[in-house]
Structure 1
Amino acid sequence: MTETAQSAPAGRGVRLPRTARRAQLLAAAQDVFVANGYHAAAMDEIAERAGVSKPVLYQHFPGKLELYMALLESHVDELVGRVRTAIASSPDNKLRVRAAVAAFYDFVDGEGQAFRMVFESDLRSEPAVQEAVERATTDSVDAITDTITADAGLDPERARLLAVGLVGLSQVTARSWLADNRRVPKEDAVALISNLAWRGIGGGFPLQH
């Protein structure tokens, strides 16, 4: 098999394992949903983008909402996973804060603009979408709250409020940074915001031994 044939995308008439076909369809749907939003996205366009027939698309996803939700849930899982990994990356709380901020910047800066489905969905009126979007924040907050509660000696309510502040600061500044065309290098932006957050958390609530 030639290198060209190996690298060519699989389209109509090419049989793929179910998991590979599903990944291909999700990638095509991602492009269409980000470009058009949920309401203007068409299953015809998604099938064409993936190089498959509509019946093949419907074999994997019974409708547009199910396809959208599969993508959205995967993006939420990715973001929450990044935050949890960041919090577990070091026993040093200053480094944890920096890693948590970086997790949001990396997610917003990722290929495919997945963050737009999580933070800028045009389907927030749909209960399942609203629940998934809220989970992106609440699960991230929960992961950080547990660490602040244990290491700063705060009760869960106060620790959670600090965690909400860190998540909100990270999310809003990351999106603003991207909208401003990354004029500040990402490492510098993460350092600025994590230092701001750490001066509040680390200065006011030192690690408890």
Structure 2
Amino acid sequence: MPRPRSSPPNDRPRTRLSAADRRASIIDAATQVFAESGYQRATMGQIAARLGVTEPVLFQNFGSKNALYAAVVAHASGHMAAMMRAFAEHTDSIGEVLTQLLNPEHIDELHSPGSLGVIFADAMTLTAEPAIEAAVRQHVGELASVLGEVIERGQRGGELRADLDPEAGAWMVLSFLSAHRFRAAVMPGRRHLEEHLAAMTLRMLLAVGESPE
């Protein structure tokens, strides 16, 4: 994710942002910092410095670090949902979409520092914070709904099992993605086993005769 351009010199006139644009710019900068450093290590000072403003500006707009993180979860979820819809709309194979989602290399990339998967992995551990828990429930649920729509499209095209419940299938895929940190921490021979787990998951989704390859 590219960083914002450096702030213009002081002798140039600055364009005053609207309230909505200011909030959006803060969320963009916070998304970058939280994805790079994680929730616990990231500070409001780092986010302010990335944006070129003072910390009080962040608190004036969001009130707390928790509230800002909740807004980042909403932003990241919307971005990922849009990407998933676009990917599904521009491919002839929903099976290929699911194969790419479950590919171990893709999952590693999704959870690498600076990627949006870091936002969601952290969010799952912060459910003691009411604002973050509410954001996770709402927006990950919305992401599951989009994935359910993708699965239904695959069923209509005959690629996915007709007896599959789209909502359950969506949550199965999201559960596989979100368990990356657990597998990375404790699974011996993770890459080998992860490949088998991905293939097993695909076989549960694909219609008879379809190949995960």
- Provide TM-score, normalisation by structure 2: 0.62
Partner residue in 2 for 1:132: 135
Partner residue in 2 for 1:69: 70
Amino acid at match of 1:136: V
Question: What does the per-residue CA deviation read over 1:14-62, in whole Å, with 9 as the maximum and x for residues that have no partner?
Answer: 7345277555533543455453625x65434432443322343345434
CA distance, structure 2, for counterparts of residue 81 and residue 111 of structure 1? 21
CA distance, structure 1, for counterparts of residue 97 and residue 136 of structure 2? 24
Structure 1 gaps of 5+ residues are 1-6
Amino acid at match of 1:147: R
8 Å CA contact 1:80–1:140 kept in 2: the answer is: yes
Partner residue in 2 for 1:4: none
CA distance, structure 2, for counterparts of residue 105 and residue 171 of structure 1? 9
Please report the RMSD computed on the Cα atoms of aligned residues, expressed in angstroms: 4.3
Evaluate the alpha carbon distance shift between residue 74 and residue 33 of structure 1 in structure 2; reply closer, same or farther with a 3 A threshold. same
Residues 1:112 and 2:121 aligned together: no
CA distance, structure 2, for counterparts of residue 28 and residue 104 of structure 1? 24
8 Å CA contact 1:108–1:175 kept in 2: the answer is: no
Partner residue in 1 for 2:14: 15
Which of 144, 163, 173 matches 1:166?
173
Amino acid at match of 2:107: Y
Structure 2 gaps of 5+ residues are none
Partner residue in 1 for 2:97: 96
Amino acid at match of 1:117: I
- Provide TM-score, normalisation by structure 1: 0.62
Partner residue in 1 for 2:162: 153
Offset, 1:171: 3.9
Offset, 1:73: 0.8
Offset, 1:98: 1.9
Amino acid at match of 2:162: G
Offset, 1:124: 1.4
* Matched residue count: 192
8 Å CA contact 1:87–1:96 kept in 2: the answer is: yes
Partner residue in 1 for 2:85: 84
Which of 132, 135, 142 matches 2:148?
142
8 Å CA contact 1:10–1:51 kept in 2: the answer is: yes
Evaluate the alpha carbon distance shift between residue 49 and residue 85 of structure 1 in structure 2; reply closer, same or farther with a 3 A threshold. closer
In terms of fraction of residues, the more helix-rich structure is 1
CA distance, structure 1, for counterparts of residue 33 and residue 168 of structure 2? 37
CA distance, structure 2, for counterparts of residue 84 and residue 192 of structure 1? 27
Moved more, 19-28 or 92-101: 19-28
CA distance, structure 2, for counterparts of residue 189 and residue 24 of structure 1? 41
Offset, 1:85: 2.8
